[in-house]
Amino acid sequence: MDVQDALDFVRTHDRTVLSTRRKDGRPQMSLVNSGLVDGAVCISSRSPLAKVRNIRRDPEVSVLIFTEAFFGSWVQIDGRAEIVDQPEALDLLVTVYRAIAGEHPDWADYRAAMIRDERVVIRIHPERASGRTA
């Protein structure tokens, strides 16, 4: 599958499994929502979590993005991730939210929560893709 075709799928689907590697090499998987921002798959997370620590140590990740139908269309994207920390992450977190859910009813409250929760953005730069889309 062409990477661009996979990214087109991500534009309209946000249910995602993120796979990172633990220190011992075993996979660590997390259910997350992802959005497409400037050609990268972006995920909001909290700085202290294992997935963020794993990426800081080993940036090679995979994401599986799928529909609400368990046996429906899906794409897997493999690539290198980077962590965007606060304060640079704050505006990007707004963009990621919009890519996933549209407008927020109170952006000031949202921004305050992102700072309080130590939110970061996991930005995945796609290198390979596979999948099955309708």
CATH class for the region spanning 3-132: mainly beta
pLDDT band per the 50, 70, 90 thresholds, residue 33 = very high
What digits encode the pLDDT tens for the residues 43-83?
999 999 999 999 999 999 999 999 998 889 999 999 999 99
Mean of all residue pLDDT scores within the chain: 97
pLDDT at residue number 69: 87
Distances (CA, A) of 72 to 18, 58, 66, 68: 18, 31, 7, 7
- pTM score of the predicted model: 0.96
Domain spans, the chain? 3-132
